[in-house]
Chains A and B, each alone.
Chain A
Amino acid sequence: MRNFTSYSSAALFSFLLHAAVVAALLSSWEPESKKIIIQPQYIEAKLVELAPKKKPQVKPPSKPKVDTAKKRREQEKRRAAEKRAEQLKRQAALKEQQRKDREREALEQKRREEAERQRIETEFAETLAQEQADINAREDERVANSYMQLIRQRLSDNWSRPPSARRDMEALVEIRLVPTGRVVGVTIVKSSGDIAFDRSVEQAAFKAQQFEELQQLESRLFEKHFRAVKVAFSPQDLRL
């Protein structure tokens, strides 16, 4: 009786312990995996103000004070009347002038606005096009690099280093390819100084025969990067 209970509790404890161990292993004991961090390509955001600045409003001219004299009323009156008439006329003329000014100003303003907007728009479009071109170029570069990497990998797989190879030797070869990826020619551009080494490099390039993957490449890119590929062979770039 007592034995059975102790067995079941022991079994429970054991299962829980193992479940905990397994959970700990699965959750946190993973090795740090190497992740290739791709730098995001930033597009700088600028706040472009499309609305033109408002002109300060023109203040209406203040009216001149009417001079009122106490004495000589009639004369004053008449003069005042004359003056008023004159003033009125002047005011009207002034107003007319101001109206015209304002109209002209508004027109000019509109034109300026238009020009400004157009300028900003063209600038924006230009920047956009420039950026797109940049992105395309970078993308091309990336694709070309990945194919380059592949070619290098294949060559180094095929390369059997001669016993005379030393760590500091380097041979630069130019491999000519056709769009099917076939190797049509190999020339040593820069010799390593060791004949056996140079020959092994040439052999490696010929042994590769054809890089079928290059067929997937756009012809534009192929012409640009892969018609003639230069590859440097040196023993130290291999993982030994």
Chain B
Amino acid sequence: MNEENLSILALIANASLLVQLVMATLFLASVLSWIMIVQRGLFLNGAQRSFRDFEDQFWSGVDLNNLYHELTERAKQQGAADGIENVFRAGFREFNRLAQSDKADPDAVMEGTDRAMRVALSREDEKLTIHLPFLASVASVSPYIGLFGTVWGIMNSFRGLAMVQQATLATVAPGISEALIATAMGLFAAIPAVIAYNRYAAKVEVINTNYETFAEEFSSILHRQVHAR
């Protein structure tokens, strides 16, 4: 009998092409999903922090015109802006534009402002949930891919078993062991993705609710203003 080297590397190197392909796919999926996990984590944390900062600033009693100009300046400097300030700027800009024309009906002004804010809100929502579907599909599909690799590997090793006369554990064990690596890799890719997806989905929901609440509050302020005239 030849010397059996059972190190993980040797097992992977000896696996059949299909199983190797499965393993490579799973490894790639794991790498990509971790990129998404870290990036989303940083992004969502940043969004929450900036929302808190903005709210503090907004309710500190600052003049809204000043706040608008300040934020616009900052957005111009940075090239782009994220989060709740976009909603605020869209609503405020629309409100000013509509309110400046004299024959504006207050209800029409409010309607336009609300619409502008809704558009901004849905843009922000899109930004928050990007990549989450990828994590969800890695989480649900990679165990199946791994299982497929394992089944294929075990199938082959049992086919080999049919050729020999004396079936011993030693003739099938390396094949099964090598096939099981695929399942292990599938789980390795899936588990972090599941956890991250659940966590981030909940977080996105919280942030969205925050945004909507703020938009309502801001809308009520503007409403008061437009009807007080």
- Residues of chain A touching chain B, judged by Cβ–Cβ distance below 8 Å, are 1-3, 6-7, 9-11, 13-15, 17-18, 21, 25-26, 29-31, 33, 156-158, 238-239
Contact = CB atoms under 8 A, between A and B. Distances in A.
Secondary structure at chain A's binding surface: helix, strand, loop or mixed? helix
Contact of A1 (B6, B30, B46, B80): B80
Contacts of A15: 31
Given A1-B80, A157-B166, A239-B168, A14 B9 contact: no
A234 to B, nearest CB: 15
A7 B35 contact: yes
Given A14-B38, A15-B31, 17 more contacts: A1-B78, A2-B46, A2-B78, A6-B42, A7-B35, A9-B42, A10-B39, A14-B32, A14-B37, A18-B27, A18-B34, A21-B188, A29-B8, A31-B6, A33-B5, A238-B166, A239-B169
B6 A14 contact: no
Interface string B26-61: 010011101111110011001000000000000000
Contacts of A26: 7-9
Secondary structure at chain B's binding surface: helix, strand, loop or mixed? helix
A33 B166 CA distance: 23
B61 to A, nearest CB: 29
A15 B28 CA distance: 10
B225 interface: no
A187 B156 CA distance: 41
B165 interface: yes
Contact of B7 (A6, A7, A18, A30): A30
B6 A13 contact: no
Contacts of A9: 38, 42
A13 B166 contact: no
Contacts of B36: 10
Given A26-B8, A239-B168, A14 B31 contact: yes
Interface string B150-181: 00000000000000011011000000000000
Contacts of B31: 14-15, 18
18 contacts: A2-B46, A2-B82, A6-B39, A9-B38, A10-B34, A10-B35, A10-B37, A10-B38, A10-B42, A13-B34, A14-B31, A14-B32, A14-B34, A15-B31, A17-B34, A18-B27, A18-B34, A238-B166
Contacts of B37: 10, 14
Nearest to B188: A21
Contacts of A158: 165
Contacts of B42: 6, 9-10
Contacts of A11: 35
A14 B35 contact: yes
Contacts of B165: 157-158
Contacts of A6: 39, 42-43
Given A30-B7, A30-B8, A156-B166, A13 B38 contact: yes
Given A6-B42, A15-B31, A25 B6 contact: no
A157 B165 CA distance: 7
A30 B169 CA distance: 19
Contacts of A30: 6-8
Contacts of A7: 35, 39
B146 to A, nearest CB: 15
Contacts of B7: 26, 30-31
A9 B46 CA distance: 15
A21 B38 CA distance: 17
Contacts of A157: 165-166
Contacts of B169: 239
